[in-house]
Structure 1
Amino acid sequence: MNHDMTFYGKKVCFIGAHPDDIEIGCGALIAHIASQTEVKCVTLSDNQKNPLLTNVVKEHYNSMAVLGVPKENVIVCEFETRRFPEQRQEILEYMFKLNQDFRPEIVFVHTKADIHQDHATVTGEALRAFRGTTVMGFDVVR
């Protein structure tokens, strides 16, 4: 069995629950591969529950640009922060469509060891939606 983890020339999808999750967990990898890989970054919530966080989405797009991901390859969805378990089915359906439209060869999501309810839901639904695709986990260390 070939376990070659070459990213170049492949379609790689990074899925995070909130703005900054992908950057914290995979920023160095994205910066390393973005120029030679088709990268799509999907953040499922704009995380706007805190009124003090007014620039989170703008900062997210800016950080992705610094990492080499063009704005058209960055998606920010509107699933409600801290309510992902209740939205599990809708998240799964969104991921099925994402898989159908983008057809990634490698997917990165939160690690299965992450106990944050939103992160755990993202991972569980990604494992269902991207069955048959290489799915890898990343840590969001706080």
Structure 2
Amino acid sequence: MKISEKQRILVLAPHTDDAEFGCGGTINKFVNEGHEVYCVAFSACERSVLDKFPGDILRTEVKRATKRLGIKPENLILLDYMVRTMNYHRQEILDDLIKFRKEINPNIVFIPSLTDIHQDHKTVAEEGLRAFKFSTVLQYEMPWNNLTFTTSTFVMLDEENVKAKVEALAEYESQAHRNYANENFIRSLATTRGVQINTEYAECFDILRWIIT
């Protein structure tokens, strides 16, 4: 099934690279199809950046990465929450999300999985569902953080989408030391999800809400 009408799509990323890891190929696909895609990154993780990089390096990298995916610069929203403390700021995060709900009024919202064990991811997922319970809401996977994940929805990708995801994540030089931040893993996961639906590449999601108009 192809989404025929143009949609307003919002991706919630607790940290600056989460959108690219969780649904970078899907973002590129939707942008190419003419949908309006927005991304909110809640933290640039200054406290987690290696000493050899500037503290604000992720703010520079996320701008380059989302541009690779096709997101308009004005559709990237960077917030200033401190990494690993979002569970202490639930109300502020919910207030921000309600503001974005009014300003963007998205049809489809992508959030981390509710089974994600990272405290920031879980907080954004829970508050995201609370704020956007009247929208279609899909959870994206991050296998290194998900205790369980139900592969209930798939987005078919082509080589162009996967290449855009790989190139976007390559912009994060400050994160290259992580064992999942490499082209082999990214392509392997896309291939695995593709095999599940008999296509070359895919990304998968778990439905929380699916609203049909």
Scaled by the length of structure 2, what TM-score is found? Answer: 0.62
Aligned mates of 1:18, 1:51 — CA distance in 2: 12
Match among 2, 6, 23 for residue 3 of structure 2: 6
Q: Whose RCO is larger (CA < 8 A, sep 6+)?
A: 1
**1:27 to 2:16 alignment:** no
Q: Max radius of gyration: which structure?
A: 2
User: Within 5 A, what are the aligned runs for 1:72-83?
Assistant: 72-83=74-85
Computed over aligned residues only, the root mean square deviation of the Cα atoms, in angstroms, reads: 1.5
> Which one-letter code corresponds to 1:32 in the other structure?
K
User: Within 5 A, what are the aligned runs for 1:58-69?
Assistant: 58-69=60-71
Q: Which residue of 2 aligns with 1:97?
A: 99
Match among 29, 45, 69 for residue 43 of structure 2: 45
Scaled by the length of structure 1, what TM-score is found? Answer: 0.92
Runs (4 or more) in structure 1 with deviation over 4 Å come to: none
Post-superposition offset of 1:6: 1.8
Post-superposition offset of 1:50: 2.7
Secondary structure of the 1:113 match is coil
- Unaligned runs of 5+ residues in structure 1 are none
Aligned mates of 2:18, 2:138 — CA distance in 1: 14
Cα–Cα, structure 1 residues 123 and 57, in superposed 2: closer, same or farther, change >3 Å?
A: same
Aligned mates of 1:28, 1:93 — CA distance in 2: 29
- Unaligned runs of 5+ residues in structure 2 are 145-213
Aligned mates of 1:119, 1:5 — CA distance in 2: 29
Match among 14, 24, 32 for residue 17 of structure 1: 14
Amino-acid identity (%) = 33
> Which one-letter code corresponds to 2:129 in the other structure?
L
> Which one-letter code corresponds to 2:43 in the other structure?
S
Cα–Cα, structure 1 residues 128 and 122, in superposed 2: closer, same or farther, change >3 Å?
A: same
Aligned mates of 1:89, 1:114 — CA distance in 2: 20
